[in-house]
A and B are shown apart, each in its own frame.
Chain A
Amino acid sequence: MGFIAESLATSAALIVSLDPEVFATVTTSLAVSSCAIVLAAVIGVPTGVAVGLHDFPLKRAVITLLNTLMAMPTVVVGLLLYGILSRQGPMGPLGLLFTPSAMVIGQTLLAVPIVANYTVGVVQGADPRILPTALTLGASPLQGVLQLVRQVRFGIIAALIAGFGRIIAEVGVAMMLGGNIRGYTRTMTTAIALETSKGEFAFGLALGMILMAVALVINLFLNTLQQR
């Protein structure tokens, strides 16, 4: 019990003193995951809107695929991308492996199915009068779809937050594609795994507390949105 209390005190001190290593790790985590969620939004929201609005022969298959991809283990995504980005892989010459860019690519692939799938649900659950109302008021098809997105924006923001929650907390992609390089690709999750294995429990605990705080903020934001 004394060990836990002592570690908690040390970790609190690390956070309060803005320890440079803790700060760098948190910054890398937030930067990589933020870039990834922006890219996932650019790909996933239009995909979800298109799938949600249109009926086409393979629609059920596409939704099943998105559901499956949502549950894909992060290490599997990391492994596949490792093969593609490693020196012998097709994208090896780009030299992306063990860079933040590789982590962004991996986390984007993790987040896209979540964002797209949630967006499909939001669009399918939207009031069926929205689009006809916009169209009969003179909206072009694109203007009509944009109005639909505006009306269901809180649901789409919730989808993005769910995606962000998944990638900020993942460890497989960050470890395999980032390589956990100190001050460069080390994220909160990879640092927790490493520092704990080295016996630096307090350091890991400090990062864990910050990660929990991020999760708390995300959930508070989600709750606020749901109440609107």
Chain B
Amino acid sequence: MTSIYDIHDLTVAFGGRTVLDVHRLAIGTGRLHILTGANGAGKSTLLSLLAFLTPPTSGKVAFDNAPVPWGSPSLFRLRRQVTLMHQFPYLFSGSVFDNVAYGLEVRGMAAAEQRHRVAEALAQTSLTGFERRNALKLSGGEVRRVAMARALALRPRVLLLDEPLANVDHETARLLEELIATLPKQGICVIMTTHEPNHADRLGGRTIHLVSGRVVQADGAAEGPEPVAIAAAPVHRIAATVSTL
């Protein structure tokens, strides 16, 4: 299988401070990839970059073997293949249906198809019957599930999840965990961040570990199409490949 993302000599800097510095990273399709690292390691920045929301300061990012056209007005077409669920999701004012259907509406999908997709996504997240509920009056766990339904309704090729299991009740965490584990089987590439070291084992995913913006460990990298160099910290421009096999 080919990589869906190929990153070369990438840096992202904010205010002159480099927060991400990745020499080589390839991320494959249809797998679960788990990004780990301490606070400030660059996990959220990497997700934002992979969602095409944050452009790199330098370096190259390819999606589907084509360079990402950063700054181009057509970037949103690429963005439509990927969706990011924020750690603290923002729900738009309106109903749960309005929120879950938003991404479908901006794609110009017919109303009947929208209703079908929304119902399907709400069922996946155990939210059937929530369609008319006011999105701004939901509990924290329900907000997370609506955000997940909103992402799933789009049937993205890549689903980026920023700490999806943090700060939610046990029941919601269990439901989301089970759901996330099934997504790669549907051909969705899932990349999620977590602080929990045992999530990779439980969910069967591969781990990409970040330290100070650099990839220091990528499990299963040896299976990748490219040679991999993984060094111990302190690290300078670590090369890593996360395979798609």
Chains A and B are bound partners: yes
Q: Is A138 a contact of B90 with CB atoms below 8 Å?
A: no
Q: Of the candidates A135, A136, A140, A147, which one forms a contact with B92 in the assembled complex, judged by CB atoms under 8 Å apart?
A: A147
In the complex, A59 Cα to B10 Cα: how many Å?
Answer: 31
In the complex, A228 Cα to B65 Cα: how many Å?
Answer: 48
Once A138-B80, A138-B83 are accepted as A-B contacts, the answer to whether A143 and B92 lie under 8 Å apart by CB is: no
Name the distance in Å between B89's Cβ and chain A's nearest Cβ: 7
- Counting chain B CB atoms within 10 Å of each CB, the highest count among A134, A135, A147 belongs to A135
In the complex, A137 Cα to B106 Cα: how many Å?
Answer: 8
Main secondary structure of the interface of A (DSSP, over half): helix
Q: Is B103 a contact of A137 with CB atoms below 8 Å?
A: yes
Asked whether any CB of chain A lies closer than 8 Å to the CB of B70, the reply is: no
> Which bracket fits the contact residues of A?
10 to 19
Q: Which of A133-153 contact B (CB under 8 A)?
A: 133-141, 143, 147, 150-151
In the complex, A132 Cα to B51 Cα: how many Å?
Answer: 10
Q: Is B84 a contact of A136 with CB atoms below 8 Å?
A: yes
In the complex, A135 Cα to B54 Cα: how many Å?
Answer: 11
Q: List the B side residues contacting A132 at CB < 8 Å.
A: 48, 53, 84, 86
Q: When each residue 147-170 of chain A gets 1 if its CB lies under 8 Å from chain B and 0 otherwise, what string results?
A: 100110000000000000000000
In the complex, A143 Cα to B90 Cα: how many Å?
Answer: 17
In the complex, A127 Cα to B48 Cα: how many Å?
Answer: 17
Q: Is A129 a contact of B53 with CB atoms below 8 Å?
A: no
Once A132-B86, A133-B89 are accepted as A-B contacts, the answer to whether A138 and B107 lie under 8 Å apart by CB is: yes
Name the distance in Å between B136's Cβ and chain A's nearest Cβ: 11
Asked whether any CB of chain B lies closer than 8 Å to the CB of A130, the reply is: yes
Q: Is A143 a contact of B51 with CB atoms below 8 Å?
A: no
Q: Is A130 a contact of B90 with CB atoms below 8 Å?
A: yes
Name the distance in Å between B116's Cβ and chain A's nearest Cβ: 18
Asked whether any CB of chain A lies closer than 8 Å to the CB of B24, the reply is: no
Q: Is A135 a contact of B103 with CB atoms below 8 Å?
A: no
Q: List the B side residues contacting A139 at CB < 8 Å.
A: 76, 102-103, 106
Q: Is B73 a contact of A138 with CB atoms below 8 Å?
A: no
Q: List the B side residues contacting A137 at CB < 8 Å.
A: 83, 102-103, 106, 150-151, 154
Q: List the B side residues contacting A136 at CB < 8 Å.
A: 51, 53, 79, 82-84
Asked whether any CB of chain A lies closer than 8 Å to the CB of B58, the reply is: no
Q: Which of B188-229 contact A (CB under 8 A)?
A: none
Q: List the A side residues contacting B102 at CB < 8 Å.
A: 134, 137, 139, 147
Q: List the B side residues contacting A147 at CB < 8 Å.
A: 92, 102
Q: List the A side residues contacting B79 at CB < 8 Å.
A: 135-136, 138
Q: When each residue 97-113 of chain B gets 1 if its CB lies under 8 Å from chain A and 0 otherwise, what string results?
A: 00000110011000000
Q: List the B side residues contacting A150 at CB < 8 Å.
A: 92-93
In the complex, A139 Cα to B101 Cα: how many Å?
Answer: 12
Name the distance in Å between B175's Cβ and chain A's nearest Cβ: 22
B residues sitting closer than 8 Å to A (CB atoms) are: 48, 51, 53, 73, 76, 79-80, 82-84, 86, 88-90, 92-93, 102-103, 106-107, 150-151, 154
Assuming A136-B79, A138-B80, what are 20 further A-B pairs, CB within 8 angstroms? Answer: A129-B86, A129-B90, A132-B53, A133-B90, A133-B92, A134-B106, A135-B79, A136-B51, A136-B82, A136-B84, A137-B103, A137-B151, A138-B76, A138-B79, A139-B76, A141-B73, A141-B76, A147-B102, A150-B92, A151-B92
Pairs across A and B, CB under 8 Å, 23 listed: A129-B89, A129-B90, A130-B90, A130-B92, A132-B84, A134-B102, A135-B53, A136-B79, A137-B102, A137-B103, A137-B106, A137-B151, A137-B154, A138-B79, A138-B80, A138-B83, A138-B103, A139-B102, A139-B106, A141-B73, A147-B92, A147-B102, A151-B93
